[in-house]
Amino acid sequence: MDKNSYMGFVLIVAIMIGSYFLLKPSDAELKKEKHLQDSIAMAKTAHKPAAALKADTSKKTAAVDTAALKGIPFGIASTGTEKFVTLENQELRVKLSTKGGRVYSVELKNYKTFDQKPLILFDGDNSNSFGLNLRVQDKPVNTNDFYFTPSAQNLTVAEKDSSSITMRLSYSATQYVDYIYSLKGTGFKLGLTIKTTGLDNVIANSNTLNLNWAASMRKQEKDMKLDRTYSTVFYYNTDNDVDYLSEGKDDQKSITDKKMQWVAFKEHFFSGVLIAKQGIDKSDLSVSIDATNDNDVKQMKASLAFARATDGSVPLEFYFGPNQFSLLKDQGHDLDKIVNLGWGPLKYINRFATIPIFNLLKKFNWNYGLIILALTVILKVVLSPLTYRSYLSMAKMRILKPEMDEIKAKVGEDNPTLLQQEYMKLYKKAGVNPLGGCLPLLLQMPIVIAFFRFFPSLFELRGQGFLWMHDLSTYDAVIQFPSIPILGDHISLMCLLMTISTLVYTYFNNQISGATGQMKYIGYITPIIFLATLNSYPAGLNYYYFLANMFTFGQQYIIRLMVDDKKIHAQLQENKKKPEDKTKKKSGFQARMEEMMRQQQQAAAKKK
């Protein structure tokens, strides 16, 4: 194009833009024209005979049939405008979309996010999908891509406290797919019955319906990292076994050998659960993390296969609500197993001991900080006999230390096998178990670890404040700074207090046990590791550990006043004077230790 061509093109564009604005009718002219057209349309409709209206309806029906016959499955429903229908009760506000006939969004009306915004589990086109995978006329069809027609249902007398609506996807006038939703006046459950009518000869393998469900669970809590740590896909089979995908990385699993009863998309404190009353024949589950997405916790997907009932229906049920143990238990179907209370014995400690005591204390309507305090007191009282035995054993070892130092000076450090043998002889004569101080502590460890899983999963702490802590379910930052590896971008005050109390407890514990050398300093490393590990964990957990340290310290102080070192020393000396009872059977541990030392001594002699 030469200069004149460019000039002509610019002038043409300028004329078009200018004429658009110059010739554009005013708002008053537009309103007048619209009013005139509406009046003409109303006049035509008023004088139109009934027979003509009926003919128009038949044409529309014929258009649907024609689309189907032309080989376009659900052709008339492939285009349309997305509209929304809302079902609402005291707890839930469920928005249904005509596109896909699916649950578009779920709002929990009585809960807020950490920053006091409406709590919406998921919403939008990009974050969730729900549709049947059908094969019609040898073509794959997903109902999530088609437009449904909503229609309200006539409720029976027994259902008057409910609201119900049907989303229909029409193949023809007598062939369709119905999603029948029902919501009771209270509760967190949304009923859903999927029913196909007249499609047995249209859908391939019509006895089984394949459903794809996907959702990105939105961030609800303060700390995304902790939120993701406790979020994943849970599933429960008809053999009463619960399992879940990895919480720390992308994961997927296909289950064909067992029927599933429900699949849960679990976010830290809230879940969306799909319950199949007749079971799920096949399940393909997956969970993934998009590290670049700051709004969604995780992306979860489930591909499920259901067998239809004799009437062509698949009865389902959704649970949209909090992961509160007692509330989930009331829902039935063992939904309380969504709350991960730990593995092995830890799960049973929390389920059958910690939770019943906690629920009992809740009945007093105390602040949750006081409830944690009372829980700690009860635990320490129950474990006080073990604490006493541990202290007594460490006191005996401390009193024997001068004699152990004499043995060490006599034998030397270059022969550790012989040194250990001499130590064992001393322990045996004095009647001291060298592991006596460790065993009570080891027996307490499962409880300590069980609480590590219990408090982060405890829904009741969410949004509950105590002292300076505004929310016991998340960290209480006292200092903020740019993010650094391991520690993060803050210092939690309660975690800092817990660390200081652990260091003080370690110092006094070393005084009791008489620890020296590396053993004296290794106890100071653990609290520093705890500071880095627990800094982003709930303030309620650090508060419990802080209280546990303080109560243990107090117990040891009281026991120290009760125990007389001189009496213990006299008792040990008296034990040493007693003749050895050769008929007494050695313990398994003692026999193994002596055999190991004997083998080490023989090996050393051969080498020499």
**Residues 320 and 365 placed together within one structural domain of the fold:** no
Residue with tokens 């007749």: 278
For the segment 425-429, the average pLDDT, to the nearest whole number, is 73
The radius of gyration of the chain's CA atoms, rounded to the nearest angstrom, is 36
What stretch of H or E contains 120?
strand 118-120
Task: Report yes or no on 524 lying in a domain.
Answer: yes
Give SS3 for 112. Answer: strand
pLDDT in tens, 441-493: 676 778 778 888 888 889 999 989 999 999 899 988 888 888 787 778 888 99
Q: What pLDDT, on a 0 to 100 scale, did the predictor assign at position 374?
A: 93
**With bands split at pLDDT 50, 70 and 90, how would you rate the model's confidence at 18?**
low
Task: Report yes or no on 33 lying in a domain.
Answer: no
Res 25 pLDDT > 90? no
Give how many domains the chain has, as a whole number: 2
Res 45 pLDDT > 60? no
Six-digit token string for 116: 């006091």
**Residues 331 and 414 placed together within one structural domain of the fold:** no
Question: Please, which residues have CB within 8 angstroms of residue 56's CB and are 6 or more apart in sequence?
Answer: none
Task: Report yes or no on 593 lying in a domain.
Answer: no
* Alpha-carbon span 74 to 282, nearest angstrom: 26
Tell me which of 76-85, 315-324, 377-386, 423-432 is least confident: 423-432
Q: What pLDDT, on a 0 to 100 scale, did the predictor assign at position 55?
A: 34
Task: Report yes or no on 603 lying in a domain.
Answer: no
Q: What's CA 353's distance to the chain center, in Å?
A: 21
Pairwise pLDDT comparison (97 vs 509), residue with the higher score? 97
Q: What is the CATH number of the domain that holds 124?
A: 2.70.98.90
Query: Bridge-partner residues for 255, per DSSP?
Result: 283
Res 35 pLDDT > 70? no
Q: What pLDDT, on a 0 to 100 scale, did the predictor assign at position 384?
A: 81
pLDDT in tens, 109-156: 999 999 889 999 888 766 788 998 888 877 888 888 899 998 865 545
**Residues 80 and 119 placed together within one structural domain of the fold:** yes
Task: Report yes or no on 158 lying in a domain.
Answer: yes
**Residues 287 and 386 placed together within one structural domain of the fold:** no
**Residues 264 and 163 placed together within one structural domain of the fold:** yes
**Residues 570 and 425 placed together within one structural domain of the fold:** yes
Q: What pLDDT, on a 0 to 100 scale, did the predictor assign at position 519?
A: 62
Pairwise pLDDT comparison (584 vs 213), residue with the higher score? 213
Eight-class DSSP state of 334: T
* Alpha-carbon span 95 to 82, nearest angstrom: 12
Of 284, 315, 340, the position where a domain reaches its end is 340
Eight-class DSSP state of 156: P
* Pair 55, 69: CB distance under 8 Å: no
pLDDT in tens, 317-364: 999 999 999 999 999 888 999 998 888 788 888 888 889 999 999 999
Give SS3 for 463. Answer: coil
Task: Report yes or no on 90 lying in a domain.
Answer: yes
Q: What pLDDT, on a 0 to 100 scale, did the predictor assign at position 112?
A: 92
**With bands split at pLDDT 50, 70 and 90, how would you rate the model's confidence at 437?**
low
Statement: the pTM of the whole predicted model exceeds 0.85:
no
- In terms of residues, how long is the chain? 608
User: Positive or negative, the Cα torsion across 134, 139, 144, 146?
Assistant: negative
**Residues 116 and 227 placed together within one structural domain of the fold:** yes
**Residues 145 and 171 placed together within one structural domain of the fold:** yes
Res 194 pLDDT > 80? yes
**Residues 441 and 543 placed together within one structural domain of the fold:** yes
* Alpha-carbon span 96 to 179, nearest angstrom: 11
* Pair 353, 450: CB distance under 8 Å: no
* Alpha-carbon span 36 to 354, nearest angstrom: 74
Res 298 pLDDT > 60? yes
On the 0-12 / 13-18 / 19+ scale of CB atoms within 10 A, 339 is: buried
Domain holding 545, by residue range, is 357-577
Task: Report yes or no on 38 lying in a domain.
Answer: no
Res 261 pLDDT > 60? yes
Pairwise pLDDT comparison (588 vs 338), residue with the higher score? 338
Q: What pLDDT, on a 0 to 100 scale, did the predictor assign at position 48?
A: 37
Q: What's CA 178's distance to the chain center, in Å?
A: 32
**Residues 168 and 246 placed together within one structural domain of the fold:** yes
**Residues 96 and 210 placed together within one structural domain of the fold:** yes
Distances (CA, A) of 275 to 128, 192, 289: 18, 10, 25
Q: What pLDDT, on a 0 to 100 scale, did the predictor assign at position 53?
A: 29
**Residues 474 and 515 placed together within one structural domain of the fold:** yes
Pairwise pLDDT comparison (371 vs 64), residue with the higher score? 371
Task: Report yes or no on 216 lying in a domain.
Answer: yes
Distances (CA, A) of 300 to 119, 214, 215, 279, 364: 19, 6, 6, 20, 39
* Alpha-carbon span 312 to 351, nearest angstrom: 40
The overall average pLDDT reported for the chain is 79
Q: What pLDDT, on a 0 to 100 scale, did the predictor assign at position 134?
A: 86
Q: What pLDDT, on a 0 to 100 scale, did the predictor assign at position 27?
A: 54
